[in-house]
Amino acid sequence: VHILGPHAGELIAEGVLAITHKMSAYAIAHSSHAHPTLSEAMKEAAMMLISKAIHI
């Protein structure tokens, strides 16, 4: 996972968790994500992959 930018620290944990636990897009989409945070973007991306996105 490569993440660059001023809030990269907020997103890197999401990528590490997904890779470490070999999570599928379905598992990422259905896991808890804090609101409002940038980590919600990971959930939305995963939901888009499984055709369930609500904020596009």
* Span 20-48, pLDDT tens digits: 999 999 999 999 888 888 888 888 889 99
* Two tokens, residue 35: 């609101």
pLDDT (tens digit per residue) in 10-22: 888 888 999 999 9
The pTM of this model reads 0.76
- For the chain, give the secondary structure using H, E and C: CCCCCCCHHHHHHHHHHHHHCCCCHHHHHCCCCCCCCCCHHHHHHHHHHCCCCCCC
Residue 15 within a domain: yes
Structural domain contains residue 3: no
- Examine residue 54 and state whether it is found in any structural domain, yes or no: no
55 within some domain: no
Q: Is 56 part of a structural domain of the chain?
A: no
**Residues of the domain holding 45:** 8-49
Number of domains in the chain: 1
Predicted confidence at residue 55, as pLDDT, reads: 67
35 is known as an active-site residue = yes
Exactly one of 2, 7, 35, 55 is catalytic; name it. Answer: 35
